Amino acid sequence: MSIEPDPELLGALDAWQHRAVAHQPPWPDAAHLAAVRDRLTTLPPLVFAGEADALRAELAAAGAGEAFVLQGGDCAESFADATADNIRNKIKLLLQMAVVLTYGASMPVVKIGRMAGQYAKPRSAQTETRQTEDRGAVTLPSFYGDCVNSHLFDARSRTPDPERLLDGYHAAASTLNLIRAFTTGGFASLLRVHEWNRGFTRNPAYARYEEIAAEIDRAIRFMAACGVDVESLRTVDLFSSHEALLLDYERPLTRIDSRTGLAYDCSAHFLWIGERTRDPEGAHVDYFAQVRNPLGVKLGPSVTGDDALRLLDRLNPTGEPGRITFITRMGAGTVRDALPALVEKVTADGRPVTWTCDPMHGNTITVNGYKTRRFSDVVDEVAGFFEVHRGLGTVPGGLHVELTGDDVTEVLGGSEQIDADGLARRYETLVDPRLNHQQGLELAFQVVELLRAH
């Protein structure tokens, strides 16, 4: 028997509409948007509430130091890249990084893709102006992500089109379907640990990976010979996540769980509220306070301890473990100064949070006209994050990174030493620069050292 939804809860789920909703695209046709919302309401949920509950429990373990979170994927996914090859390569890199961390640090790894829904971006400027040859300076709406408009620079492409929200739903559904197939159908089995590395040979990170893979093989053969059931090695749980930005998408995909009568945003297992939309009095915080999913909040260097406590008052008043992950993104030069006071204040409050480090967004620079990051800054911010938490006796619980499984050249440095000129070789991102396959793996090895140092 299913539980009837509580009318008070249904009211609370729509209360955000009375608040300022930051960073929504300038949709030109409200009636069209409303029609699309109605369509989304009728479509099946993409995830099951019970899966979100399982993830919440795993995040609680990470907050307590019993697991480590690996969250990664594109800055912005694109519809054109929702291909089998692209999705497979990204999953492969996440699995390789997870193997390195699980084996190297003897820690369970909670695997979350920035995948299957990361199609919308907040923009600081509503419009973009470019010089054109024939018409001089042209100003058009900014690119808000594939589920709003197209990055192509012409008036038609840049006009926000609500139909794209439906396209986003379908791209997410097919991506998630392939993720489920790969993670449960044999591809992700630890018995295939070597195969994820195939084709990658020259780089030192790949040689180190091969050594670990050989040790894992031996260990599995040993366990099998001893009669241990290795069934749990054949599949993985890879959860989905994206920034909770477009409330006209998230609200229609929120469903009442028939088991409990509670609301879950069934567009993904995990949603995070961005640095630009985390106003405790704003619509985003008001809305996500009503859903049961585990939530992240990005915290940049301007955040105060009191801001963080106000967020907990709204999003996790009772202090449920695993409910809130604070994803700090301070910058390599700032993390050691800005993080301690924040962590101390939250720790003194007593409500548990899971702390993870986003070493990407505080380290963005422009070189030769390319938006990029230095790999050394990324590593340094992670190191600073560990230092601060170790110093305070708190738990550095995970990593949130922008990466792709492909061989792009968007981030400077790494063992292939991508330099300023090298950026031009294969710079493909639509928004922020991502770690490539080799840089992702290299970062995992560095994090193992940090986890072991304790």
Interface contacts to Mn ion, rule CB under 5 A: 75, 432
Report the C-alpha gap between 79 and 87 in whole angstroms.
11
Q: Does 327 bind ligand TRP (CB under 6 A)?
A: no
* Size of residue set near ligand TRP by CB under 6 A: 12
Q: Give the shortest CB-49-to-ligand TRP separation in angstroms.
A: 21
* H or E segment to which residue 437 belongs: helix 437-452
Residues 206-265 that bind ligand TRP (CB under 6 A): 232-233, 235-236
Q: Which amino acid is present at 202? A: R
DSSP 79-102: STT-SHHHHHHHHHHHHHHHHHHH
Q: Which is nearer to ligand TRP, 241 or 267 (CB)?
A: 241
Relative orientation angle of helices 84-105 and 437-452, to the nearest 10 degrees: 20
Within 10 angstroms of residue 235's Cβ, the number of other Cβ atoms is: 16
Rule CB under 6 A: choose which of 70, 75, 95, 112 binds ligand TRP.
Answer: 95
Beta bridge partners of 240: 113
Handedness of CA 274, 278, 283, 285 (dihedral sign): positive
Rule CB under 6 A: choose which of 24, 71, 86, 102 binds ligand TRP.
Answer: 102
Q: Does 330 bind ligand TRP (CB under 6 A)?
A: no
Distances (CA, A) of 22 to 247, 271, 428, 453: 10, 17, 28, 42
Q: Give the shortest CB-173-to-Mn ion separation in angstroms.
A: 23
**Ramachandran angles phi, psi of 326, nearest 5°:** -90, 120
Residues 182-201 that bind ligand TRP (CB under 6 A): 188-190
SS3 112: strand
Tell me which DSSP letter residue 231 carries: G
Instruction: Specify the stretch interacting with ligand TRP by CB under 6 A; choose among 97-105, 120-128, 134-142, 200-208.
Output: 97-105
Instruction: Specify the stretch interacting with ligand TRP by CB under 6 A; choose among 10-18, 28-36, 93-101, 211-219.
Output: 93-101
Q: Which residue has the tokens 């419009």?
A: 127
75 makes contact, choosing from ligand TRP, Mn ion, none, with CB < 5 to 8 Å by partner type, with: Mn ion
Nearest Cα residue to 358 out of 10, 73, 58: 73
* Contact mark string toward ligand TRP, 108..127, x via CB under 6 A: x-------------------
Q: Which is nearer to Mn ion, 122 or 141 (CB)?
A: 122
Instruction: Specify the stretch interacting with ligand TRP by CB under 6 A; choose among 80-88, 95-103, 288-296, 309-317.
Output: 95-103
Q: Does 99 bind ligand TRP (CB under 6 A)?
A: yes
Q: Give the shortest CB-108-to-ligand TRP separation in angstroms.
A: 6
Report the C-alpha gap between 440 and 402 in whole angstroms.
9
Which positions lie near ligand TRP, rule CB under 6 A? 95, 98-99, 102, 108, 188-190, 232-233, 235-236
